C-alpha cells in the first residue's frame, strides 16, 4: 500500500475553519460532543474572540493553528475544568475540543488563564 499525500492547501482548509470562524473558547467540565454541550451543558467559562493564528507548518508534518494565551477568560460556573472547546457561535458549531494538560477547579465570577497552544492535523502516515 502506498503512502497518501495531501497538499498543504488541503490540510489548511481543515485548520482554517478554526482561524476563520472560531470566535469563542469555552472551558468545560468534560469533553463536549455537541455545540450545546460546549456552549452550555458542560461550559464553566469562556473567552470571546480568542486569537487564533492563520494556518502554518506543524512540527512533524501537517498543518496547525496557534491559540494565543488567554489571561482574562470569564468563569461562569463552579466546578472542575478538564477540557476546552473552540466554537463558531454564528453557525452554532463545535469546531474542536480536547483535554487540558491539567484539570483545574474554578469558581463563578473569577477569571481563568490558558497558555498558548497549538491545534493541528498531522500529515498522513
Distances (CA, A) of 122 to 63, 93, 108: 7, 22, 37
**Is residue 109 in a domain?**
yes
**Is residue 3 in a domain?**
no
Overall average pLDDT of the 28-56 stretch: 97
How many domains does the chain divide into?
1
pTM: predicted TM-score of the whole model, two decimal places: 0.90
Overall average pLDDT of the 10-39 stretch: 93
**Is residue 125 in a domain?**
no
Q: Give the pLDDT of residue 14.
A: 85
Q: What SS3 string covers 21-57?
A: HCCEEEEECCCCCCHHHHHHHCEEEEEECCCECCCEE
**Is residue 66 in a domain?**
yes
Question: Can you read off the three cell numbers belonging to residue 76?
Answer: 461562569
Amino acid at each position: 500500500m502506498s503512502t497518501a499525500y495531501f497538499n498543504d492547501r488541503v490540510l489548511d482548509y481543515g485548520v482554517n475553519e478554526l482561524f476563520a470562524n472560531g470566535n469563542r473558547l469555552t472551558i468545560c467540565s468534560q469533553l463536549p460532543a455537541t455545540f450545546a454541550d460546549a456552549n452550555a451543558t458542560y461550559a464553566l467559562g469562556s473567552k470571546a474572540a480568542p486569537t487564533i493564528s492563520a494556518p502554518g507548518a506543524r512540527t512533524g508534518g501537517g498543518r496547525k493553528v496557534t491559540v494565543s494565551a488567554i489571561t482574562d477568560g470569564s468563569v461562569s460556573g463552579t466546578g472542575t475544568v478538564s477540557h476546552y472547546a473552540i466554537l463558531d457561535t454564528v453557525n452554532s458549531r463545535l469546531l474542536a475540543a480536547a483535554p487540558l494538560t491539567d484539570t483545574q477547579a474554578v469558581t463563578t465570577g473569577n477569571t481563568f488563564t490558558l497558555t498558548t497552544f497549538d491545534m493541528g492535523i498531522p500529515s498522513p502516515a
